[in-house]
Structures are given as structure tokens and as C-alpha cells.
Structure 1
Amino acid sequence: MAERGRPRSFDRETALRQAMEIFWERGYEGASLADLMAAMKINAPSLYAAFGGKEALFREAVDYYRNTEGSATGKALRAGLTARAAIEGMLMAAAIVLALPGKPTGCLVVLGATNCTPSNRPVDMFLHNLRVDSAQDIRKRLLQGVADGELPIETEVEQMAAYFTTVLHGMSLQARDGATQEALQGVVRTAMLIWPASARRQAAA
């Protein structure tokens, strides 16, 4: 049966990508409906009919970001054959994607809803939960490194995971403040110096 009503006169994925870039650049509260409609080239009724409103659009835009521009860090973490390669690869991937020429800088998940008003607390918690999930992925990879004998049994995994999560999130803010890919790569090399010396020697053997 044919869909009732007027057919959409825009490409939904293209509009979603345009919304994602506005949210990425300006954050949830900084992106007005007027900004979004201008970028997406649609009117308010079309936006609400296609996406359900600003918050629903934001959540979908974040999911789209995590599956496109923001996917590189997670892929690198999963692809690393060792715990060290996984963590370093994740951070190096971030150093590239957080400062891509022609794109908003920083990470949408990290910077998209800072200092939200109480009415937008659900948006803040949405991103908070995604960041917690990311930190848990780092923790699990380090625990696997201990189980595989790559890291010493006495490794303080919780502290190490918190450290690398902090580096990852801090790089996002540095990128927003103008840090280049090369500068962020230098941060990664310095951060990896905390890897246990015994594990570094084992990896080099």
C-alpha cells in the first residue's frame, strides 16, 4: 500500500548528517531549531515529522556520528591484537579524527552537552551513559591484557582505565581549543609511557 500523505522532499540521511555537524560544532543547547532547519534545508513540520523533535534528532545524530566519523576509536580498540596496541591505536585514531580539516573539532559525545540546563538533563545523561560505556570498553580491554599475561597481575586496571579515558576526553577538549593532529599524536606518545615497563619489554622481545 502506498504511503499516505506527501512524500518527503529531502534525503533523510543527508539531512541527518547536516544536523549531526551542527550539533557537533555547537552542542545541543547551542544548536537552535533555526540553525538545524537551515542546515538540513527543511521546515519545522518536516523536521518533526521525520525526526520527532530536537532531542530525538540529537539522539539519532549522535548514533549516526558514532557509526561514521566517531567510529574510528572503537574500531581501533577492538582491532588491537594486544592490549597496548589496542589502547595506543584507539588514542592515535582519536588524534586524527578529533582534528580533521574541514570538520568540527573534538568529539560530539564528549562535548555535545556540557553545562546543560536542568530541562535538558536527559540529553546530558544520554551522553554520560555513552561515555561510561566507552570507559568500560577500555577497562575490559585492559583486563583482557592482564588475563592474557600482557600486563602484570598487579596492574591497577581501574586507575589505568580512568587514566586513558581522561587522556581520550582531554584530547577532545584540546582539539576544540586548536590542537593539531601532530600535537595530539605527541600527547598519545607521552601517555603511553605509563605502560608498565615489564610489559613494554615483553612486547619488544
Structure 2
Amino acid sequence: MSTTAERGRPRGFDADQALDRAVEVFWRHGYDGTSLSDLTSAMGINRPSLYAAYGNKEQLFRRAVARYAEVDMAYAREALQQPTAYQVVESFLRANADALTRPDRPAGCLSIQGGLSASSGNEQIAEFLAASRRSGEEALAQRLGQAVEEGDLPADTDAAALARYVMVVSEGNAVHAAAGASRGQLHSTVDLALRVLGS
């Protein structure tokens, strides 16, 4: 006769740890390329436990992206606290280049790889990821706008365009990292990007 633990979650089930494993699976295979079997195997739980703890695959993916933003992209929030616009951008792009090439994580970025090839019927995944990236860009634009108001950036600086430029560099580096670019190569790109801001 099955026990409750066998039917549901295993004893000692750690929801955050299981979610971290889901993050990695989605990161490596994308939303469409990830099966429920991939997820349950990596997370160490069965399907009823997955549904009970996280909902369906899409709900789990959304939670995985939120977890990724909280843990793997904490550096983005920290960068916004830097005292000058230059330091904000440098901190963000340098930490991003390091994060994209961590040896203990898949190369690249979950928010880019996760939905690059969303199939028909899953367009909402690509839209969700795009909205997530836009949110980060808007936070950066707001911080750079503050720098303009404080006189840290020239008065005629288009804060939204500058934030978009920084995100283009970041997202481009993510694509190149996934294709095998080294950390040093990404930092060389950052060096060039920072010339836009001067020193």
C-alpha cells in the first residue's frame, strides 16, 4: 500500500531547490524543448507533486523565471544602487558577462534561451519573457533618468535609448555566450560599450 509520501512529494522536499533545478532545465532546453519528464527527473518529484506544488508547465516556467530573476540576476538590482550612471552600467554589464559564463550554470541567459523558439500555441511564453526583459530595461531607464536629473549625465541624454543600448549589449552577449564566446571576449565587448558613457 502506497504511503502519502510516495504518492505526493518525497520527504524532505525543498521547493526552492527543486525550482532551481527546473530553472536549469528550462535554461538548457528552452520552454518548448523541456518535457514534464525532464522536469520531474531533474526536480526529483513525480507529476502529481509538480502539479500540486507549482501548477502546470507554464506556471512552473513563470515561477522559474521569477526565481532566476531573484537569484541569478540579483546583480542587476545591485547595479542600480551604484552612485553614478557609469558605475551602474559598468557594474551591470561586467556582472552580466560573468553570469553568462559561470561554469556551474548553462551558458547564456534563461530569459533569452527560454523562449527563442516558442512554437505555435506558446506565443505567450515569448511575450512573457519579452515583458520581463522590458521591465528590467525600464528600471534601468528610470535610474539613468535620475542621473540626468542629478547632472551626472548630460541634460540632453535620452535615458530610455541609453537603457535600450545597454540591454542590447547585454542580450547580444547572452546570445554569443550561448554560442561559446568566452568571458574575456564578452568583457571586451563591454569595454567598447562603456566608451559611450566616457569615464
TM-score, structure 1 length as denominator?
0.88
Cα offset for 1:13?
1.8
Cα contact 2:32–2:117 (8 A) shared by 1 = no
Post-superposition Cα deviations, 1:23-81, rounded to whole Å, max 9, x if no partner, equal: 111111111111111111222122112111111111111111111112212322x2211
Supply the distance in 2 between the matched residues of 1:158 and 1:59 (Cα, whole angstroms): 26
- Alpha-carbon distance between aligned partners in 2 of 1:108 and 1:70, rounded to the nearest angstrom: 10
- From 155, 158, 183, the equivalent of 2:157 is 155
In the other structure, the counterpart of 2:74 is: 71
Give the structure 2 partner of residue 18 of structure 1: 21
The 5 A counterparts of 1:162-177 are 162-177=164-179
Q: Distance between the aligned counterparts of 1:46 and 1:167, measured in 2?
A: 40
Consecutive aligned runs of 4 or more in structure 1 exceeding 4 Å deviation: none
In the TM superposition, what is the alpha-carbon distance from 1:157 to its structure 2 partner? 2.6
For structure 1, the 5+ residue unaligned runs are 201-205
**Contact 1:105–1:176 (8 Å) recurs in 2:** yes
Letter in 2 for 1:34: S
Question: Quick one: percent identity of the two aligned structures?
Answer: 37
Return 39-48 or 95-104, whichever deviates more: 39-48
Length, aligned pairs only: 192
Show the counterpart of 1:8: 9
Task: Kindly indicate whether residue 76 of structure 2 is the aligned counterpart of residue 81 of structure 1.
Answer: no
Paired residues of 1:70 and 1:107 also in contact (CA < 8 A): no
SS at match of 1:105: coil
Hey, what's the Cα distance between the residues in 2 that align with 1:136 and 1:48? 33
Unaligned stretches of 5+ residues in structure 2: none
Q: CA deviation at 1:95?
A: 0.8
**Counterparts of residues 31-180 of structure 1 (less than 5 Å):** 31-76=34-79, 78-180=80-182
For 1:38, the aligned partner's letter is: S
Which letter does structure 2 place at the counterpart of 1:18?
A: R
Amino acid at match of 1:191: A
Given that 1:98 and 1:106 are in contact with CA atoms closer than 8 Å, whether structure 2 keeps it comes out as yes
**Residue 11 of structure 1, CA deviation:** 2.2
Once the 2 structures are TM-superposed, how far is the Cα of residue 158 of structure 1 from its aligned partner?
3.0
State the Cα RMSD in Å. Answer: 1.5
Q: Give me the TM-score of the superposition, normalised by structure 2.
A: 0.90
